[in-house]
Structure 1
Amino acid sequence: MAHIVVLGAGLGGVPMALEARKELRKEDRITVVSDSATFHFTPSNPWVAVDWRKPEQIKVELAPMFKKKGIDFVHAAATKVVPEDNAIELDNGERLTYDYLVIATGPQLAFDEIEGLGPHGGFTESICHVDHAVDSNESWQKFVENPGPIVVGAVQGASCFGPAYEFAMILETDLRKRKIRDKVPMTFVTSEPYVGHLGLDGVGDTKGLLESEMRNRHIKWITSARVTKVEDGVMHVEEVAEDGSVKKTHELPFGYSMMLPAFRGIDAVRDVEGLVNPRGFILVDEHQRNPNWKNIFGIGVCVAIPPVENYAVPVGVPKTGFMIESMVVATARNLRADLDGKPADNLATWNAVCLADFGDGGVAFVAMPQIPPRNVNWSADGGWVHMAKVAFESYFVGKIRRGVGEPFYEKAVFDMLGIHKVKEKA
């Protein structure tokens, strides 16, 4: 019998545990460790922030679901991963040992890297966590009673740009529904070198689609932006040229602002030599395995992926649902292969898929692989994207409630695009 510990219970950790239960031997023990008692569907946070969803609609209690699947659950935060002892130290005083560890923690949100950023003592909102989204909604309800300028976007070093575009458009849609859009100037501020870059050097015509969408909605934008400081009601931004010089400074007033932060690894892993890069992200090889600790795997947002290019303002690379699902499947199969004494040589595809909802439409894209050049480089917009996002939310939350971990993205995307032959080459 082997003991497999999954650290984290989000979009990567929960499917990882369920897939491992399906792939591994009956006698193998699986334990999930999380600082949260509930799973929440992060892609729905923008809806929670404008009261289009209630938190309980996108949450799942983990302990009873895992129990039905024969998976142990420990509700505690990890304080230190100790690879040389095959152990994790927890904030409840316990020390959990493992034979294999899968790190799926997601990121730590680096609000503290910019003065005045974020909801914890800062002046901007967040949609990175459901609790943040709940607080954002409280601020939103106050804002619409006394509307003013809005600033939305993603700061330097951010790697998750889709939700920033989503939230800007969702806010704009909500304002129109309330018939107060004319009272609210909006500015989109992003570290991307151009609108629609998305950390991927664009996908299909995301540049054209998103620029057109923002023009139609009268949202101004600033790219290659470096946020230097946020004060109560004012954001200080430097617009940076390609050579790194500051070509323009902006002082942007706001009555409401949401800026996605940069990410970094969690404290429990950040200083473990050989496990992480300087930002604390998990180092993995093409099989999701740490090159220095062969019984440790990494999946999801917590893994280290180099940027597409080096820009004057740092731009990270996103890890979308398709990619995370691919990492999960490859890791589960590699665990089983290793247990059976076979080569653990399953590969994740690292493709990117996104449904960016705008409340009354949206933009979808598929990048295969996510880094150019690509076999598939496709994007499209329309009302169907909003409906697809709603349907996917219902499907995904429902399958987590049932404790079902079957892969979804690959079949759905290939069927939608009719690219089965490309699948074999990607």
Structure 2
Amino acid sequence: MAHVVVLGAGLGGAIMAYELKDQLRPEDRITVVTKDPKYHFVPSNPWIAVGWREREDITVDLRPTMAKKGIGFIPVAAERLHPEDNRIQLVNGESVAYDYLVIATGPELAFDEIEGLGPHGGHTQSVCHIDHAEQARVAFDALVRNPGPVIIGAAQGASCFGPAYEFLLILETALRRAKVRDRVPMTFVTPEPYIGHLGLDGVGDTKGLLESEMRGKHIKWMTSTRVKRVEAGKMFVEEIADDGSVKAEKELPFAFSMMLPAFRGIKAVSGIEGLSNPRGFTLVDTHQQNPKYRNIFAVGVCVAIPPMGPTPVPCGVPKTGFMIESMVTATAHNIGNLVHGKAPDRVGTWNAVCLADFGDGGVAFVAQPQIPPRNVNWSSSGKWVHMAKIGFEKYFIRKLRKGVSEPFYETLALKTLGIDKLKETTTG
């Protein structure tokens, strides 16, 4: 009998447990360890922040579903991973032993790397967590009552740019509906070298599509920009030239700001030689398997992926939903192989399929593979993207509540977007 532990129960961890159930033997055990017993659908956080959703609309209590699937569930945060001992120490002093471990923790949000950034004692809002989104909702309501300048964007080192663009344009839509948009100057601040780079050197015509959206809605932007510090109502930034020199420093006033931070690995799995990189992200090979600790796998945002290439201001590579889904499927198959006495042979596609909602429209893109050069490099826009995002939300929440392991992104790519088949590959 093998005991497989999944550390984390976010977008990757929850479906990881379900897919493992399909791959393992009846006598094998699965246990999910997570700091939060309830899953919150993170892609809906921008809607929470403008009052289009409430917490209960996007929340799933995982315990009953896991119990029905015969999956162990421990809602206690991890204190420290001890890979040499094959155990996880929990914050309550207990430990969980494993034969195989899947790290699916997501990231730690590095607000502290910039003075004054973030909702925890800082001066900017966030949509990275539902608690942050609810706090942003309070600030949004205050903005509607007392309109003023808005700054939306991402800090240097960020790797998740899609939600910044989404929230920018969802906010713009919400302000128009509140009939105060004419009193809210909007500026997008990003470390990307150009609008629509997305940490991917663009996908299709994301540069043209996003620039057109922003021009049409009178939104200014600043690229290759580094945030120095944030004070109450003021953001101090540097515009960086191609050679890395500072070409301009600016003080930007704001009444409301939402800035995505850089990510890093959580402390429980960081600083372990051979397991994590200097930022705390987990090192994996093509089979999602750690090169040193062969019984440890990782999926999702916690996986170490090198940047696309040098940019004047550091930009990370995003881990999009389809990419995470393909990591999960490959990992479940590979652990299934191991418990059946076979070698891992499944490789995730690491394609990108993304729906970026803008409130009453949006942009969709497909990158196959995510890292160029690509076989598919496609993007499109329209009101259908907004409807597709709503459908995705309803589908994924239902999927978690029912405990099913059917893939979403491949179905979307095949049936909705008409893209060629996007399958995990088998080596050998």
Same fold by TM-score, threshold 0.5 exceeded? yes
| d(CA) in 1 for partners of 2:378, 2:199 | 16
Q: Deviations over 1:289-327 (max 9, x none)?
A: 000000000000000000111112100000000000000
Q: Deviations over 1:97-118 (max 9, x none)?
A: 0000000000000000000000
AA aligned opposite 1:222: M
| Correspondence 1:15-414 to 2 at 5 A | 15-414=15-414
Q: State the partner residue of 2:6.
A: 6
- Contiguous gaps of at least 5 residues in structure 2: none
| d(CA) in 2 for partners of 1:416, 1:399 | 19
| d(CA) in 2 for partners of 1:132, 1:424 | 35
AA aligned opposite 2:75: H
CA contact (8 A) 2:354 2:364 kept: yes
CA contact (8 A) 1:3 1:100 kept: yes
| d(CA) in 2 for partners of 1:317, 1:216 | 28
Deviation at 1:419, TM superposition (A): 4.0
In the superposition, relative to structure 1, how do residues 337 and 211 fare at CA in structure 2: closer, same or farther (>3 Å)?
same
Q: Deviations over 1:97-146 (max 9, x none)?
A: 00000000000000000000000010000100011101110111112111
CA contact (8 A) 2:31 2:73 kept: yes
| d(CA) in 2 for partners of 1:138, 1:59 | 20
Per mean C-alpha deviation after superposition, the further-off stretch among 122-131 and 138-147 is 138-147
> What RMSD, in angstroms, separates the aligned Cα atoms of the two structures?
1.2
CA contact (8 A) 1:87 1:97 kept: yes
Deviation at 1:236, TM superposition (A): 0.5
| d(CA) in 2 for partners of 1:389, 1:249 | 38
Q: Deviations over 1:190-249 (max 9, x none)?
A: 000000000000000000000000000100000001000000000001000010001111
CA contact (8 A) 1:188 1:220 kept: yes
TM-score by length of 1: 0.98
Secondary structure of the structure 1 residue equivalent to 2:153: strand
| d(CA) in 2 for partners of 1:27, 1:147 | 60
CA contact (8 A) 1:3 1:99 kept: yes
| d(CA) in 1 for partners of 2:78, 2:423 | 38
Give me the identity figure in percent: 67
Q: Deviations over 1:63-98 (max 9, x none)?
A: 111001100100111010000000000001101100
Deviation at 1:424, TM superposition (A): 8.7
| d(CA) in 2 for partners of 1:424, 1:232 | 48
Secondary structure of the structure 1 residue equivalent to 2:346: coil
In the superposition, relative to structure 1, how do residues 389 and 300 fare at CA in structure 2: closer, same or farther (>3 Å)?
same
| d(CA) in 1 for partners of 2:223, 2:370 | 22
CA contact (8 A) 2:326 2:424 kept: no
CA contact (8 A) 2:349 2:422 kept: no
CA contact (8 A) 1:414 1:423 kept: no
TM-score by length of 2: 0.98
Secondary structure of the structure 1 residue equivalent to 2:65: helix
| d(CA) in 2 for partners of 1:292, 1:222 | 42
Deviation at 1:422, TM superposition (A): 7.1
| d(CA) in 2 for partners of 1:98, 1:291 | 18
| d(CA) in 2 for partners of 1:23, 1:205 | 39
CA contact (8 A) 2:158 2:261 kept: yes
In the superposition, relative to structure 1, how do residues 418 and 141 fare at CA in structure 2: closer, same or farther (>3 Å)?
closer
- Return structure 1 stretches of 4+ with deviation > 4 angstroms: 421-426
| d(CA) in 1 for partners of 2:259, 2:421 | 40
Secondary structure of the structure 2 residue equivalent to 1:353: strand
Deviation at 1:409, TM superposition (A): 1.0
- Contiguous gaps of at least 5 residues in structure 1: none
Per mean C-alpha deviation after superposition, the further-off stretch among 356-365 and 401-410 is 401-410
CA contact (8 A) 2:346 2:425 kept: no
Deviation at 1:418, TM superposition (A): 3.4
CA contact (8 A) 2:349 2:425 kept: no
Deviation at 1:412, TM superposition (A): 2.3
